[in-house]
Structure 1
């Protein structure tokens, strides 16, 4: 299993690194990609600097297959910056079209995914009061839950839902047994 996690300046650190951590514990090959930049250094919304594994452009140049999952953290202006990266939007779209997992949390379901066809006909959630950004049609399927899983789309509400969001990705990619081991081993609620 392979996953790509996007980072852009202003990303929400909890929402980005929680999925990276739990997915790597589950044995998923996670590549953290800096988007919209030629630098691997990305600055989080709360002043935490992260060195991405590579840039998204380098990943695209080196990969022959789509990832099993794409993870889009929120945070502002991180979500806006990802939404302005054509390569990120194209990879999200291709991943969804292939029936692979698209995961977004906080502002990103509204700000990023609304620029793709991913939300069409699917239930989803996002950070409170941001759902209107996605438009009236998508708004009708919005739910106020910690996370929502509909077909190949997993969305999360915000930083406080990052653990549940990440673990739903683990369960979907790796199965209930791996999910249970990680949940017990990390002393989750």
Structure 2
């Protein structure tokens, strides 16, 4: 079974965090949420989230995917965390998946992980912190190798389904999506 780490920072975007966690768990993927400290996380709209563990407790563990929810100031807190930066760089060096949505792609950019890649983010986020050679793509979800990025809260479901497809295949993604009863657009 694939394992996924979702770091949760104070001020994260709850719609993104909960959608990612929920859909991956529906797909039978092991999801571990980790707070940057041992406190409950107060998300950007005031929702309180209780992480499964702390980042310190899982810092040496390998994951198939590390996925960063966005929101502000949550993404700022993720970006400032040197432990997380080291984990992201180790993840990339091992050729494992990384993903970020909304403001969180800037965390990947500041760690040097979007250099020469295609990516998306909440409009304007990557403009303020461009990565050398990065090409911004105006799309809901962008996959470049083992890095998956997405635009924001409104794309969270598509993003999470893309993560399921990357980890468990198209058939599992389709199965999870069908059970959600999403209307065709």
Range class of TM-score, shorter chain: over 0.9
Match in the other structure for 2:53: 54
Structure 2 counterparts to residues 68-79 of structure 1, below 5 A: 68-79=64-75
Q: Deviations over 1:23-79 (max 9, x none)?
A: 1111111000102x2x14111000000100000101226x3xx10000101000000
Give me the whole-angstrom Cα distance separating, in 1, the residues matched to 2:39 and 2:98.
23
TM-score (norm 1): 0.92
Match in the other structure for 1:137: 132
TM-score (norm 2): 0.94
Match in the other structure for 2:90: 94
SS at match of 2:86: helix
Match in the other structure for 2:76: 80
Match in the other structure for 2:150: 156
Spell out structure 1 runs of 4+ moving beyond 4 A.
Answer: none
Contact 2:11–2:73 under 8 Å retained in 1: yes
Change (3 A) 1:182 1:87: same
Contact 1:101–1:152 under 8 Å retained in 2: yes
Give me the whole-angstrom Cα distance separating, in 2, the residues matched to 1:76 and 1:60.
23
Deviates more, 1:2-11 or 1:129-138: 129-138
Contact 1:40–1:54 under 8 Å retained in 2: no
Q: CA RMSD in A?
A: 1.2
TM-superposed CA distance for 1:136, in Å, is: 6.0
Q: Any gaps of 5 or more consecutive residues in structure 1?
A: none
Give me the whole-angstrom Cα distance separating, in 2, the residues matched to 1:83 and 1:131.
13
Contact 2:112–2:131 under 8 Å retained in 1: no
- Aligned pairs, number: 182
Give me the whole-angstrom Cα distance separating, in 2, the residues matched to 1:137 and 1:115.
11
Matched, 1:168 2:167: no
Q: Any gaps of 5 or more consecutive residues in structure 2?
A: none
TM-superposed CA distance for 1:130, in Å, is: 1.4
SS at match of 1:137: coil
Contact 2:33–2:52 under 8 Å retained in 1: yes
